[in-house]
Amino acid sequence: EKMLYDNAQLAEVYAVEYERTGDERYLDVAEETFGFVIRQMTDPEGGFYSALDAETDGVEGKHYVWSPDEIATVLSEEDAELFKEVYGVDEPSTFEHGHVLHLPRSLAEVAAERQVSEAELQERLANMRQKLLTVREQRPALLRDDKTLTSWNGLMIHALARGGKLLDRPDLINSAERAANFILAEMRDDEGRLLRTHREDVSKLNAYLDDYAFFVDGLLALHEATGNDAWLTTAKQLTDDQLNLFWDDRANAFFFTSDNHEELLARTKNAYDGVLPSGNSVSVCNLVRLCELTGDPIYRERAQETLEVFAGRLQEQPGSMPFMALALDEYLASDENGTNDAGQTVENESAADSAGTTVTAAKFPQQGADSQAPLVVAARTDPRDRDAKVSAKAYLSVDQIPAGGTAQVAVVIEIKKGWHINTNPAMPDFLVPTELTLKSAAMAELSKVVYPKGEDFRMEGFDEPLSVYEEKVVLVGTINAPASAAGQTDEILLNVRYQSCNDRQCLRPTDAKLTFKVPIAAAGAQVNSINQRLFQRIEATP
Inter-residue contact 149 to 187 (CB < 8 Å): no
For 503-525, how does the pLDDT look when each residue is reduced to its tens digit (9 = 90+)? 878 888 888 888 888 899 988 88
The secondary structure of residue 524, as a DSSP letter, is T
Indicate the CATH number for domain 148-332. Answer: 1.50.10.20
Inter-residue contact 373 to 451 (CB < 8 Å): no
Helix (H, G, I), strand (E, B) or coil at 179: helix
For 7-49, how does the pLDDT look when each residue is reduced to its tens digit (9 = 90+)? 999 999 999 999 888 888 899 999 999 999 999 999 999 999 9
CATH 2.60.40.1250 residue spans of the chain: 341-540
SS (H, E, C) 380-421: CCCCCCCCCCEEEEEEECECCEECCCEEEEEEEEEECCCCEE
CATH 1.50.10.20 residue spans of the chain: 148-332
Q: Which residues contact residue 292 at a Cβ distance below 8 angstroms, ignoring those fewer than 6 apart? A: 334, 338, 339, 340, 343
DSSP string, 472-497: EEEEEEEEE--GGGTT-EEEEEEEEE
Helix (H, G, I), strand (E, B) or coil at 215: helix
Cα distance between residue 416 and residue 88, in whole Å: 49
Inter-residue contact 241 to 212 (CB < 8 Å): yes
| pLDDT score for 379 | 36
The secondary structure of residue 334, as a DSSP letter, is B
DSSP string, 78-140: HHHHHHHHHTTTTS--SSTT-BPP--SS-HHHHHHHHTS-HHHHHHHHHHHHHHHHHHHTTSP
pTM above 0.75, yes or no: no
Q: What residue ranges in 423-488 does DSSP mark as E strands?
A: 435-440, 445-450, 455-457, 466-470, 472-480
Inter-residue contact 327 to 291 (CB < 8 Å): no
Identify how many contiguous H helices and E strands the chain contains and give both numbers: 14, 20
Inter-residue contact 445 to 519 (CB < 8 Å): no
Closest by CA position to 395, among listed 421, 439, 365, 435: 365
Q: Which residues contact residue 394 at a Cβ distance below 8 angstroms, ignoring those fewer than 6 apart? A: 376, 377, 378, 409, 410, 411, 412, 494, 514, 516
At 516, which helix (H) or strand (E)?
strand 510-521
Closest by CA position to 397, among listed 383, 408, 411: 408
Closest by CA position to 527, among listed 350, 320, 371, 349: 371
- Homologous superfamily in CATH for domain 341-540: Thiol:disulfide interchange protein DsbD, N-terminal domain (2.60.40.1250)
Helix (H, G, I), strand (E, B) or coil at 163: helix
Cα distance between residue 186 and residue 203, in whole Å: 7
| pLDDT score for 264 | 65
Q: Which residues of the chain are modeled with pLDDT < 50? A: 340-387
For strands 401-402 and 510-521, give the pairing: parallel
Inter-residue contact 514 to 436 (CB < 8 Å): no
For 76-106, how does the pLDDT look when each residue is reduced to its tens digit (9 = 90+)? 999 999 999 999 998 888 777 889 999 999 9
Burial class (CB in 10 A: 0-12, 13-18, 19+), 213: buried
- Radius of gyration of the chain from its Cα atoms, rounded to whole angstroms: 27
Cα distance between residue 162 and residue 169, in whole Å: 10
The CA–CA distances, whole Å, from 369 to 150, 172, 346, 400, 412 equal: 53, 42, 16, 11, 21
| pLDDT score for 22 | 86
Cα distance between residue 530 and residue 368, in whole Å: 9
Distance between start and end Cα atoms, the chain: 62
Residues shown for the chain: 542
Q: Is the dihedral of CA 478, 484, 489, 490 positive or negative?
A: negative
| pLDDT score for 348 | 28
The secondary structure of residue 529, as a DSSP letter, is B
Closest by CA position to 152, among listed 32, 30, 48, 237: 48
The CA–CA distances, whole Å, from 88 to 32, 73, 172 equal: 20, 17, 32
The sheet carrying 51-52 orders its strands as 2-3, 51-52, 144-145
